[in-house]
Structures are given as structure tokens and as C-alpha cells.
A = this chain, B = another copy of it.
């Protein structure tokens, strides 16, 4: 099968070593961030915050979150061009969805007089919320849509990436407390350009389960 989509997805892989001298261009970074912003989510909830680790100060701060565990991912923070922290709102509430509706009104998608009616979609949040207002499993899943969309986007741009669940959410909550404002980061994506001689994963064959192991056509 030959198609640019398949070429892009076959080429992407999890980089294991970055070339610290190579930076993502501002125009590519702008495309990546706009693609993230355009990510779909259930009821257009967008229950995420993305922290872009770009400056040396931010890299140093993120570097320090690996003090207790997942040290194998620590080198990526300073060597990669950027790291994107994908954080989800563990208690998505009506006040959060109101921001979405207000934006829809501003953008001409919803009429101001239909604002209350627009809250009808919030029933999907209620279905996924426990008695303490916690809907972390639902908002986390939405955030992984954005992650999947982002990984496709960077592959399309020829940029290497490293998805990392091996991040210390507690240390990130502590050191990025002001920026996260209660959101939880359990996954990050390092992006940049791999180091030719030391990235052992760059040349290993891609491997996925066979089609008939994961796909059933009825």
C-alpha cells in the first residue's frame, strides 16, 4: 500500500536519543500547537492544558521532575527541541463547559439565546462523573485524542517524537503547580530531531500486531 498517510505513519517511531543542536522551526511549532488546539473531543469539551517546555529554565524545571523515577526519559528533556506536557482536568465542571459555550457564541457557532440549551450536551460529562465530581478517566481519554492527533501531525512534518507515560505526575504537579492549576499530567511528548548514531530505535523495523489480530470486518 502506497500513500503519504501510510508513509508518514510507518516512518514515525519513538525516538530514543535527540540531537540537541537541532531545533524545531517556529513555523512548524506554530502548526503543531494549532493542530493541538483544533483536536476534537467529546462535546468539544477540550478538557486539557498543554504546557510547552521550550526555554532553558523550563527544561531545567522539567528535568528536575525525574529525581525520583523514570530517569530513562530524563535525557530527552534537555536534548529534544521541545517537550509538550498533556494535562487533563480531573474535575471537569459546568463552569469549564461554559467557557466552551461562550467561545461558541463568540465564534458564531451558538446563538446567545441558546446558551442554556447548549448545556444539554453536558449530560455526557454527568455520565462520566462520580459522586465527588471526579471525571478524570473521561478527560484523560479525551486528552489522548489530542495526543494521537499530535503524533500524526508531527509525523507529517517529519519531526521525531517520544511519547512518555514515564513521567512523574506528582513531581510535575509540584514543580508546575502554578501553570497546571490542578490539571494532571500523566503523559508528555518530546519532539525534535533524533541523533543519528545513538538512536537505536531509528533503524529497528516497525512492528504491529497483524491486521486480523486487531481488526474484524463485518
Contact = CB atoms under 8 A, between A and B. Distances in A.
A107 B9 CA distance: 17
Contacts of A137: 137, 140
Copies in the complex: 2
A74 interface: no
A132 B146 CA distance: 30
A194 to B, nearest CB: 16
Interface string A136-167: 01001111111111111100110000010110
Given A100-B209, A146-B148, A207-B109, A38 B50 contact: no
B209 A38 contact: no
Q: For A53, A156, A217, which residue has the most chain B Cβ atoms within 10 angstroms?
A: A217
Contact of A35 (B5, B14, B44, B166): B5
Given A9-B149, A152-B152, 15 more contacts: A1-B34, A12-B40, A36-B215, A37-B209, A37-B211, A39-B148, A40-B151, A50-B215, A107-B205, A107-B206, A110-B207, A140-B141, A144-B148, A149-B151, A152-B153
Interface of A: 1, 3, 5-6, 9-10, 12, 14, 30-31, 33-40, 42, 44, 46, 48-55, 57-58, 61, 99-100, 103-104, 107-110, 124, 137, 140-153, 156-157, 163, 165-166, 179, 204-211, 213-218
